[in-house]
Amino acid sequence: MIDKEIEEWNNVLKWLEEKHPGFESNLSLRDLPGLERGMTASKDLKKGETLLHIPSTCMLNPLTLLPNSLIPSHLFPQSVSRNNPNDSTTPISKKARMEKGRKLDTTQLLTLHLALTKDSKNRYKSNWKEYIESLPKTFRPWHPLTWVVSPILTQKENVPQVEWKWFNHLYDIGLSQAAKLKVQDVKKRFDEEYEILVEVLTEEEPFKSQNLVESIDKEVILWAWLNVNTRSISIPLGLPSPSERNNHTLVPIMDFINHSSNEKIVTPRVKQVPTASSRIRKLSMSTKSNGSKSDIALPSPPLTTNNGNTTMGLRKADQHLLPNKIDFKLVCQDNGLKKDEEVFFEYGGHSSSTLFAEYGFCEIPVVPEEDGWLNMKYGEVDLTHYVSELWENQNEEDKEEKKQVLEDIGCWGGNTIHCQPSPVHPSHSLLMTLRLIHLPSNSPKLTNISRGLVTYVSPANENSTMMTLESILKKVIKDSQKRHKSLKKLVKYPEPENGKILTSQQIGIIKMLCSMCDEEQILSQSLLERIESGVVDFP
């Protein structure tokens, strides 16, 4: 780490120790082989010992932000009727937002808070200043979203256009169609939320009068949004449904822990515990100049037992994080930890393409050979692009009827193959989709399939399904080999016209994309061999 990073890390620790009673850490931030940095044990630790105790007061979410922010209170998410037709995961139009009263979800609110700290006139100071200063300063060029969002060239953010064009070209030649679809999904989310935040900066006071939309440009919002998207964790906050749009929290220290799906090395167990602080502050509901706080509906406290201790696991709806009420505690796993041993988290059950699109990295097995890839916990290959091509050749009326059947049985989408549980196999959704593609129009069997009474159609249908799957797998292997060859060529001849040498970061990203090609080829070849052997019996 450079001196500036060490200083920022020490500032975060000092801030946590001095202003957030109950904070405890037995972790250290270190440079690690093959990684920029990660968390390691600062001493030998036994089973059950504390790795990290994070007070809820230092977490950044709408509940802790509400009494400490100049953001107008009516923008904060608050309880609404479950019957509210506008309460959905589908983004609503600008007109609808204005009619119902603009509300930001947790991602949008946290993005706005981070972006406001970049105000050139320093009008929006944050109580999380030390933590925010430790966040990544930029996501260019390593996050794939930045490869498809052209940079704004200003004095503040002078990203060379030629570098962006190189990465945009890398996106074109180096990503599978499945990975591209996922990056485009991330871009779609960003574009939608960027539009909403521009509306807020343009139309809401005091932002409108301050002309903040001029100083907080798209690059700033991109930086803030990616910090929230890559570093926040999901915690029940007791905010309105849909919960997946209102459960994001930024947690200092915890967001430095790297990902692994290897159960042998995933280290901490997470506990929600009553706060250790004896100085519990009550939320201020007083009226401020930027709006009344009295209309904000906060969740009820968690259930308590007769002795006053917080009860976890009684009802999911009651397991809410509350300011100064519920802390996070990470404790050591059964085998303990040695000093300087790295601590890992599992970010979720994500495939390589999902990890790459969302976080900008993919997981590579310790031994990146065939057995390593075949033993990956979440190893998969997404065949959506190839299945979509087949689907488009269906009769329009046929497509609608069969799509409805697949939706009825929960099999619309999810056209993937998986390596776990072993051996490599197609998902049930993929099998049912291919079976229906080969089912004659208006087949009487569609009714029973829709009711979940039938999965296997006929020997002839199954033979056609397997032949189509074979053909798709061969295409995947061929396309992957082509990408792999193009990536290798890019390393050898990066820019023949000027002989420019690639940076270590560029080479590292290319190696990551090559590893994703390896995974596709190994899993596809393994399933292809099973099918060609004729010993498969898929349900």
Fold of 1-81+88-362: set domain protein methyltransferase, domain 1 (3.90.1410)
Task: Say if strands 233-234 and 248-249 run parallel, antiparallel, or are unpaired.
Answer: antiparallel
174, containing H or E segment: helix 161-174
Preceding peptide of 268 cis, ω within 30°? no
In whole angstroms, what separates CA 332 from the centre of its chain?
Answer: 25
Name the residue with tokens 């019957």.
Answer: 83
The two three-digit tokens of residue 176, written as one number: 């599978």
- How many angstroms separate the CA atoms of 230 and 247, rounded? 14
- Of 109, 118, 108, whose CA–CA distance to 73 is shortest? 109
For residue 29, the cross-strand partners are 39
What stretches of 294-363 show up as alpha helix (H) in DSSP? 352-359
Task: Return the exposure string of 463-487: e unless at least 16 CB atoms fall within 10 Å of the residue's CB, then b.
Answer: ebbbebbeebbeebbebbeebbeeb
The pair of three-digit structure tokens given for residue 432, joined into one six-digit string: 């049912």
Q: How many CA atoms lie within 13 A of 112 on its CB side?
A: 29
Tell me whether residue 68 is exposed, middle or buried, using C-beta atoms within 10 angstroms of its C-beta: 0 to 12, 13 to 18, 19 or more.
middle
pLDDT in tens, the chain (539 residues): 677 888 999 999 999 999 998 899 999 988 766 667 888 999 999 988 999 999 988 999 998 999 889 999 999 987 443 334 344 444 555 555 444 567 899 999 999 999 999 999 999 999 999 999 999 999 999 999 999 999 876 444 455 677 888 999 999 999 999 999 999 999 999 999 999 999 999 999 999 999 999 889 999 999 999 999 999 988 878 787 667 788 899 999 988 888 888 877 766 767 667 665 433 333 332 333 333 333 333 333 232 233 332 222 223 333 455 555 678 888 888 888 899 988 888 887 899 999 999 999 998 887 767 788 999 999 999 999 999 999 988 888 888 899 999 999 999 999 999 999 999 999 999 999 999 999 988 889 999 999 999 999 999 999 999 999 999 999 999 999 999 999 998 887 665 444 467 888 899 999 999 999 999 999 999 999 999 998 777 87
Distance from C-alpha of 253 to C-alpha of 518, rounded to nearest angstrom: 33
For residues 110 and 66, what is the distance between their CA atoms, to the nearest angstrom? 11
Model pTM score? 0.84
Alpha helices in 175-277 (DSSP H): 177-203, 207-210, 212-215, 218-231
Q: Could you tell me which residues come within 8 angstroms of residue 189 by beta carbon, excluding any fewer than 6 positions away?
A: 229
Q: Which residue ranges make up each domain of the chain?
A: 1-81+88-362, 364-532
Length of the chain: 539
CB atoms near residue 49 (< 10 Å): 14
Of 70, 61, 75, 87, nearest in space to 199 by CA: 75
Long-range Cβ contacts of 501-507 (<8 Å, 24+ apart): 505/141, 505/142, 506/141, 506/166
DSSP result, 17-86 = HHHSTT-EE-EEEEEETTEEEEEEESS-B-TT-EEEEE-GGGSBSHHHHGGG--S-GGGS-----TT-TT
